[in-house]
Structure 1
Amino acid sequence: MAADVSYDAVVIGAGHNGLAAAIHLARHGWKVGVFEAKGEPGGAVKTRELTLPGFRHDVAAMNLSMFAGSPFLREHGAALARHGLAFAPAAHCFASVFPDGSWFGVSRDPDVTAARLEAMNPHDAASWRAMLARFGVDAPHIFGLLGSEMPSLAAARVIWKAWRQNGTAWTLDMLRFLATSTRVWADSHFEDARVKATLAAWGMHLDFPPDIAGGALFPYLESMANQAFGMVIGQGGADTMIRAMTGYLAELGGEIHLNAPVEEVMQSAGSASGIRLADGRVIAARRAVIANVTPGLLFGTLLPGGSGNKAADARLRAFRPGPGTMMLHVALDRLPQWTAGAELAQFAYVHIAPGFGYMSRAYEETMDGLLPQAPVLVVGQPTAIDPSRAPAGKHILWVQVRVLPKHVNGDAAGSITGKDWAAIKDAYAERVIDLIEAHAPGIRTHVLGRAVFSPDDLEAENACLVGGDNLSGSHQLDQNFMFRPAPGYSRYKMPLGQLYMCGAATWPGAGTGAGSGYLLGRKLAGA
């Protein structure tokens, strides 16, 4: 079949990882075409007026700290700044509230955080300072590993260097740490249950309730990175990142085609040769087809006849989504008035996840197909950091509900009888508002508008968010490191010549760091 047009590389999906790969290749002289099914680029990084005019809500991702600290930005940051990339830093990063009316939070100033800890538990304050000092030793090696293909000679060099600098005991401790649960890690360092819960809440962002092996890494990195480097969100919205990337790609000669759903990856002589669009056009790829999608979509839909390797195809199709999420976007005439303390209104995130048992119950109920009686809430307050996202004097909330079932079998609270998300999402959103109201009384009377995205809505918004899983696949140990997305396929090369995959379903996983796209771009460009 004759091609309508040809490129050196064709990228399926205009999420930030696909854009990162396209930018890096275009900068190295490749002719690149990006084909996106939706009418706007960005994948899970989009900003829209979802409630009322002038209120700009980040549809899914809000925190751009990983992008701000990424190797991709270090290389391409000057160009992206020319195209308008701008961050809004948070002086107060994250906090948790508790039923007894207390709270704990991490602010950018280490002395401010330490003073809070001193008032709560002097032992924990000393442990926090010690952990921050250790992070200065650990961080270069951990981030070096996250910035390397897995497995690879580069990753081996990172481990070798870590061993040479820190010794065998440190190396063994670190390997053990990578398999440690959040509870075991938190219990070994802190005494106050509120401190433990505040840090453990980060595990729930990444499919790690307190007692799952491997859960300690993300809470440790998020807590210490926020303390050491701070948190940033996008100035005006998370889409500042996508607008800058698409502008830079156009400058480099790359092309983005929107409303261009891909129906099939074409094959010729045992290699991916291009793509066929839903409108029938055939796009040839001379050197690479890059699928910025989940394995289930690539090997279940886009390769209808398979890759020719049935065992590999089955292994990749078995990639497991994580639990679902709900997004609740709220327009307000004032920020929440948290009863635990007025200072909480200055934080980028306030978690409602007051203990290990609370988190574990929410997770277990979800795994049983039940609507959690009390879900974990991540209450984002972006206008506390960036007032430009709403009209003067007005505010927005970005509320992520973690975790929820894709298929609802019942309600752990016994009050919601339906099982179809379209019918029950507003009732469940009321439960979410009730939980916030318990810590910020009167918030209902200040709501100007709201938009609810159920797990089904999130998947309809982005096919990679299977069942509302905003991580594009569980990050538990059987699907992480060299096992992501499947053993033997963690280096982006798929079981078909010239076919590659990037995105959150591949190493180093979810987040806004553009890690897989950048690593794949470097791999293909040779630099």
Structure 2
Amino acid sequence: MTEPVVIIGAGINGLVAAADLAARGTPVRVLERGPTAGGAVRTEELTKKGFRHDVAAMNLSMFAGSQFMARHGEEMARHGFALVPISHPFAQALEPGDHIGVTTDLEETLSSFSNEADKETWRNLMAEFPERAGVVGGLLGTPMRRWPLAKFLWKTWRSLGTSKAIEVAQFLISSPRDWLDNTFEDPRLRTALSTWGMHLDFAPDIAGGAIFPYLEAMGGQAMGMVIGKGGADSATRALVSMIESHGGQIECNTEVTRICHTNGKVTGVEANGKIIDTSIILAGLAPKHLSRLAGPTADTRFDKGMEKFRHAPGTMMLHLALDAPVPWLAEPLKKFAYVHIGRSIDTASQTYAQAVAGLLPETPLLVVGQPTLFDPTRAPEGKHTLWVQARVVPAVIKGDAKGEILHKNWDDAKESMADRVLDLIEEQAPGFRATILAQHVVSPEDLEAGNPNLVGGDQICGSHHLTQNFLFRPLRGFADGHTPIKGLHLIGAAAWPGAGTGAASGFFAAQAIK
């Protein structure tokens, strides 16, 4: 191949595709509109010098366990990729002073449960986890193409039998609340696990969301989690180094303005006013931007589907430089990488409904990341960084559910909303505000301005509800990433298997190029 494969976007999927192709001798050019590679997997000094903050993604467990790393992990290590293992992955702060925590020590996890029946259920779930994780993980690692999918389904049926296969299928379409109500007795435990669904746009009562609380809970217990040493950009920097070592090119500050095609075939891209000839493009784009750059195709159903692709509600981020660790009332919370703040499963449902209705939620669900407890290289000695997501918030503000914030634009509302977030942390950790040295607030609009794929501050680039997942991501008939334009393939979080740092869509697309 003399013409390069052109990859639009240097997010994790684009970089993984480029690295795999370059390692196999295929010429690649990665075109990135921003000043640095990485997309949502970047680390920057956002508050004060010496404080390194993960801009979006912090947890690299999916990347560490990815098919790409299984194939290229040794080379990535040679290019400087390093991980920090974490034995205390996540906890839920409930009523102030109360918590449930999942660690790699089974008895330590169970000590935060209040119900003996739930402890026995947890042990049973862990016993069957390897078999079920093999099925669920196998599905998430299968390209949505006819023969790979048929092979997976046949193998699964032969392994499990009809009854168990149907049981797994029912589980895959269950809502978090349905699965949790049928599995555990303690409402505290149901709350703690349901929170994980909100990471992927699954409020407690939305069908198809049970899989995520299950995988995160059991996976956290079995394996813990990992973060990048020095920052999530440990992965990005190693990928860039790997690509360049094999002759690949990464061109930042290079905005693609048109995808060129003739007679239904890709011919090139226009970027910074110049045409780059190619017959293969891997586009790490939100569907609306794919349509904007490519224009109409010969398939009106595809064009309409890209236009109607639905994004999840927005996210607000707070990056904090701290003078000391968070003084949690519940002492064990000082040992966890993630602390979710939310008192009940019903509060989470209410928060989601308010955000979808365009209201600033009264009690946003918080994901509080404490990376410097495990990786002190991210801050000056004795200091800490805090990574806070407020899930979920509206992209466009129509009002405030609490009736306190009158502004309806994010530029004016974000500081007041940040105060609401800090109040929720302070309630769980009195004296917390006194530890803050500096803060950087990022609204949904700011997220999209920095990365247009995060439409409306949607950090997962599209809802994962059942009508937009599996065979329907991003659209029925195109779940393998192909488009009506020959040579143009969609990769990234909008493509199957969706959001996260696993970068499977980029790896799938690269593997399809011989």
Matched, 1:312 2:306: no
| Cα displacement string for residues 206-225 of structure 1 (whole angstroms, at most 9, x for unaligned residues) | 10110000110111111111
Percentage of pairs with the same residue: 48
Matched, 1:86 2:82: yes
Matched, 1:405 2:394: yes
Matched, 1:333 2:323: yes
Asked if structure 2 preserves the Cα contact closer than 8 Å seen for 1:147 and 1:519, the reply is no
What secondary structure, in the 3-state scheme, does the structure 1 residue paired with 2:242 have? helix
| Cα displacement string for residues 207-257 of structure 1 (whole angstroms, at most 9, x for unaligned residues) | 011000011011111111111111011100000000000100111111000
| Cα displacement string for residues 157-211 of structure 1 (whole angstroms, at most 9, x for unaligned residues) | 2222222122111100000111101011011111111111110000010101100
Structure 2 distance, partners of 1:309, 1:28, is 33
Matched, 1:255 2:249: yes
Asked if structure 2 preserves the Cα contact closer than 8 Å seen for 1:144 and 1:155, the reply is no
The Cα shift of 1:444 comes to 0.8
Structure 2 distance, partners of 1:131, 1:51, is 42
Counterparts in 2 of 1:443 and 1:100: CA distance versus 1, 3 Å: closer
| Cα displacement string for residues 254-306 of structure 1 (whole angstroms, at most 9, x for unaligned residues) | 100000000000112321111001x21111113x111011111111x2023x1
The Cα shift of 1:152 comes to 2.9
In the superposition, the TM-score normalised over structure 1's length comes to: 0.96
Asked if structure 2 preserves the Cα contact closer than 8 Å seen for 1:366 and 1:404, the reply is yes
Q: Which residue of 1 aligns with 2:349?
A: 360
Q: Which residue of 2 aligns with 1:449?
A: 438
Asked if structure 1 preserves the Cα contact closer than 8 Å seen for 2:10 and 2:31, the reply is yes
Matched, 1:197 2:191: yes
Matched, 1:296 2:292: no
Match of 1:393 among 370, 379, 382: 382
2:56 counterpart letter in structure 1:
A
Asked if structure 2 preserves the Cα contact closer than 8 Å seen for 1:141 and 1:159, the reply is no
1:98 counterpart letter in structure 2:
L
2:399 counterpart letter in structure 1:
G
Structure 2 distance, partners of 1:100, 1:11, is 48
Structure 2 distance, partners of 1:73, 1:317, is 34
Q: Which residue of 1 aligns with 2:278?
A: 285
Structure 2 distance, partners of 1:16, 1:320, is 22
List alignment gaps of at least 5 residues for structure 1: 1-5
Asked if structure 2 preserves the Cα contact closer than 8 Å seen for 1:95 and 1:350, the reply is yes
Asked if structure 1 preserves the Cα contact closer than 8 Å seen for 2:264 and 2:484, the reply is no
Matched, 1:229 2:219: no
Q: Structure 1: which 4+ aligned runs deviate by more than 6 Å?
A: none
What secondary structure, in the 3-state scheme, does the structure 1 residue paired with 2:112 have? helix
Moved more, 381-390 or 92-101: 92-101
What secondary structure, in the 3-state scheme, does the structure 1 residue paired with 2:278 have? strand
Asked if structure 1 preserves the Cα contact closer than 8 Å seen for 2:8 and 2:14, the reply is yes
Matched, 1:458 2:452: no
Equivalent pairs counted in the alignment come to: 513
| Cα displacement string for residues 291-326 of structure 1 (whole angstroms, at most 9, x for unaligned residues) | 011111111x2023x123222111122111001000
Structure 1 distance, partners of 2:52, 2:149, is 40
What secondary structure, in the 3-state scheme, does the structure 1 residue paired with 2:6 have? strand
Matched, 1:55 2:40: no
Asked if structure 1 preserves the Cα contact closer than 8 Å seen for 2:99 and 2:112, the reply is no
Asked if structure 2 preserves the Cα contact closer than 8 Å seen for 1:370 and 1:410, the reply is yes
Q: Which residue of 2 aligns with 1:3?
A: none
The correspondence of residues 426-445 of structure 1 with structure 2, limited to 5 A, is 426-445=415-434
Asked if structure 2 preserves the Cα contact closer than 8 Å seen for 1:266 and 1:275, the reply is yes
Structure 2 distance, partners of 1:144, 1:99, is 38
Asked if structure 2 preserves the Cα contact closer than 8 Å seen for 1:16 and 1:512, the reply is yes
Q: Which residue of 1 aligns with 2:460?
A: 471
Matched, 1:323 2:319: no
Matched, 1:493 2:485: no
Q: Which residue of 2 aligns with 1:66?
A: 62
What secondary structure, in the 3-state scheme, does the structure 1 residue paired with 2:461 have? coil
Structure 2 distance, partners of 1:110, 1:34, is 44
Asked if structure 2 preserves the Cα contact closer than 8 Å seen for 1:109 and 1:227, the reply is yes
Q: Which residue of 1 aligns with 2:166?
A: 172
1:19 counterpart letter in structure 2:
L
Match of 1:188 among 175, 182, 189: 182
Asked if structure 2 preserves the Cα contact closer than 8 Å seen for 1:7 and 1:33, the reply is no
List alignment gaps of at least 5 residues for structure 2: none
Asked if structure 2 preserves the Cα contact closer than 8 Å seen for 1:181 and 1:215, the reply is yes
Structure 2 distance, partners of 1:161, 1:169, is 15
Structure 2 distance, partners of 1:246, 1:152, is 33
Matched, 1:149 2:143: yes
1:21 counterpart letter in structure 2:
A
Match of 2:16 among 15, 20, 24: 20
Structure 2 distance, partners of 1:240, 1:35, is 20
Structure 1 distance, partners of 2:136, 2:500, is 16
Structure 2 distance, partners of 1:17, 1:71, is 12
2:30 counterpart letter in structure 1:
V
Q: Which residue of 2 aligns with 1:9?
A: 5
Name the Cα RMSD after superposition. Answer: 1.0
Structure 2 distance, partners of 1:175, 1:22, is 35
1:280 counterpart letter in structure 2:
G
What secondary structure, in the 3-state scheme, does the structure 1 residue paired with 2:512 have? helix
In the superposition, the TM-score normalised over structure 2's length comes to: 0.98
Match of 2:503 among 491, 509, 514: 514
2:493 counterpart letter in structure 1:
A
The Cα shift of 1:100 comes to 5.2
What secondary structure, in the 3-state scheme, does the structure 1 residue paired with 2:194 have? helix
Match of 1:121 among 115, 134, 138: 115
Structure 1 distance, partners of 2:376, 2:332, is 17
